[in-house]
Amino acid sequence: MKYKGRYEVFDPAQIKTYPVKGRNNKVKYGDLREIDEVLNCAIDLPEEVKKNIEALSKEIIARRAKGQPILLFTGAHLVKNGLNRLLVDLIHRGLFTTISGNGATSIHDFELALMGETSEYVPQALEKGEFGMAYEFNYINAALSVGNKNKLGYGESVGKMICKKSFRKKVAKYLGIEPNAISFAHPELSIAAACYEEKVPFTVHVGIGTDVLDQHFWFDGCAKGGCSGRDFLIYTQEVSKLMHGGVILNIGSAVTGPEVFLKAASMVGNVQQTPDDILTANFDLRQYKPETATNESTVGYYFRDQKSIVTRIPQAYGGKGFYIEGNQIQTIPYLYQQLIKLL
Query: Can you tell me the distance from the alpha carbon of 336 to that of 237, in angstroms, rounded to the nearest whole number?
Result: 27
- DSSP H helices, 201-283, are 221-239, 256-270
Predicted pLDDT of residue 286? 82
Give residue limits of the domains in the chain. Answer: 43-342
* Architecture of the 43-342 domain: 3-Layer(aba) Sandwich (3.40)
Q: For the chain, which residues score pLDDT lower than 50?
A: none
Angle between helices 221-239 and 256-270 (to 10 degrees): 60
Q: Residue 82 has what DSSP assignment?
A: T
266-325 pLDDT tens trace: 999 999 999 999 999 999 988 877 777 677 777 776 677 887 899 888 889 989 999 999
Q: Determine how many CB atoms are found less than 10 A away from the CB of residue 29.
A: 15
Instruction: Please name every residue paired with 283 in a beta bridge, in sequence order, or none if there are none.
Output: 251, 324
Question: Contact at 8 Å (CB) between 100 and 204?
Answer: yes
- DSSP H helices, the chain, are 35-39, 47-65, 77-80, 84-92, 103-115, 122-126, 137-149, 154-163, 165-175, 191-198, 221-239, 256-270, 304, 313-316, 328-342
Predicted pLDDT of residue 305? 82
Query: Can you tell me the distance from the alpha carbon of 153 to that of 144, in angstroms, rounded to the nearest whole number?
Result: 8
pTM of the model: 0.94
Query: Can you tell me the distance from the alpha carbon of 37 to that of 86, in angstroms, rounded to the nearest whole number?
Result: 11
Question: Contact at 8 Å (CB) between 157 and 143?
Answer: yes
Look at residue 273 and give its three-state secondary structure.
coil
Cα dist from 316 to 292, 311, 321, whole Å: 18, 9, 11
Which DSSP string corresponds to 124-181?
Answer: HHHTTT-TT-BTTHHHHHHHHHHHHHTT--HHHHHHHHHH-HHHHHHHHHHHTS-TT-
Predicted pLDDT of residue 46? 96
Backbone angles phi, psi at 136, to 5 degrees: -65, -15
Predicted pLDDT of residue 157? 98
Question: Contact at 8 Å (CB) between 99 and 74?
Answer: yes
139-162 pLDDT tens trace: 999 999 999 999 999 999 999 999
Predicted pLDDT of residue 303? 77
Predicted pLDDT of residue 224? 98
